[in-house]
Amino acid sequence: MITIYHNPRCKKSRAGLEYLKSKTADFEIKLYLKDDVFTNESLYDIIKKTGKNPVEMIRTQEAYYKQNMKGKDLSSNDIIKLMVENPKLINRPIVVKDEKAVWGDPPEKIEALFK
C-alpha cells in the first residue's frame, strides 16, 4: 500500500498527489496537518526510508523555523520532535511505499517508488 502525507493547501503537495493518481489508484491520503498522524518514532522511520537526514526535511521558510530553530545546533531527535509538534515544518508531500519513501518535490521523484 502507498501512503501520501498531503497538505491540500500546498501547490507542491497537490502536484505530487496528481502525479501519484496518474500512476495508481491504490493509495491512501493522510492529511498530516489535520490528523495527528506522526509520532517521533513514525516520522523518524519515514525520514529514514527517504535516505535523508531530518534537517533536510524541514521547511526552512516557515516562521516557526526562523524564530525557533534557525542557527541552533539541534540533534536529529530534537528536530523530529519539533516537526511532530509543528507539522507545518515537514517538507511535503512525502510518499511511502513499503520500505521506500520519497519527498515528492518535484512530483517526478515519486516515480522512484514504482521501479
Taking only the tens place, the pLDDT of each residue in 42-79 is 999 999 999 999 999 999 999 999 999 999 999 999 99
How far apart are alpha carbons 25 and 106 in whole angstroms? 20
Domains and CATH numbers, the chain: 2-114 (3.40.30.10)
pLDDT at residue 36, rounded to an integer = 87
- pLDDT score of 60: 96
pTM across the whole model:
0.94
Q: Which residues are catalytic?
A: 10
Q: How many CA atoms lie within 13 A of 13 on its CB side?
A: 19
pLDDT (mean) for 2-18: 97
Q: What is the mean pLDDT of residues 36-43?
A: 95
